[in-house]
Amino acid sequence: MNQQTNEDRGAQSRVIVQRVTCEWRRAYRVAADPTRLPDWASGLAKSALLPQGDHWIVRTPESGDARMRFAPANDFGVLDHWVAPEGVPEVYLPFRVIGVAPDACELQFTLLRQPHMDDAAFERDAAWIARDLQSLKRLLEAD
């Protein structure tokens, strides 16, 4: 059996995909709106985000307040964001909306395993992201 080092763990990632019946540009607009995060991103936002310069302040369910910043608006479906809970280095969260048909898209979130994450934490975060993407799917398909 191979033993995994902390360095190996830090390099792991998982792409979590949710297909949505929604034109990708509309999905992008909703997902890119920081004020809509509490509507679907329970793993990240417990309440409304507060703008603060080029960042937002978000109350997270597990880490208290965190600073958050987003990729600039773009025509490529890139929704990457960075979150910095108090006292913790900033975490990069790659997120994309990809058009796959005129009326369908895929939400693709890449979970990057952080050096401090054990297997259980990585699996818990992956499951939480999958639930949040399902919530975003319901929101987009209901509009």
pLDDT at 3: 42
Q: Are the C-beta atoms of residues 133 and 16 closer than 8 Å to each other?
A: yes
Sequence spans of domains, the chain? 11-142
* Each residue's pLDDT tens digit, 25-51: 999 999 999 989 989 988 777 677 888
For the four alpha carbons of 41, 47, 50 and 56, in that order, the dihedral sign comes to negative
Confidence of residue 143 (pLDDT cuts 50, 70, 90): low
The reported pTM is: 0.85
Confidence of residue 89 (pLDDT cuts 50, 70, 90): confident
Distance CA 105, CA 91 (A): 26
| 138 DSSP 8-state letter | H
Confidence of residue 98 (pLDDT cuts 50, 70, 90): very high
For domain 11-142, the CATH architecture is: 2-Layer Sandwich (3.30)
Distance CA 17, CA 92 (A): 18
DSSP 46-98: SS--EEETTEEEEEETTTEEEEEEEPPP-SS-B--EEEEETTS--EEE-EEEE
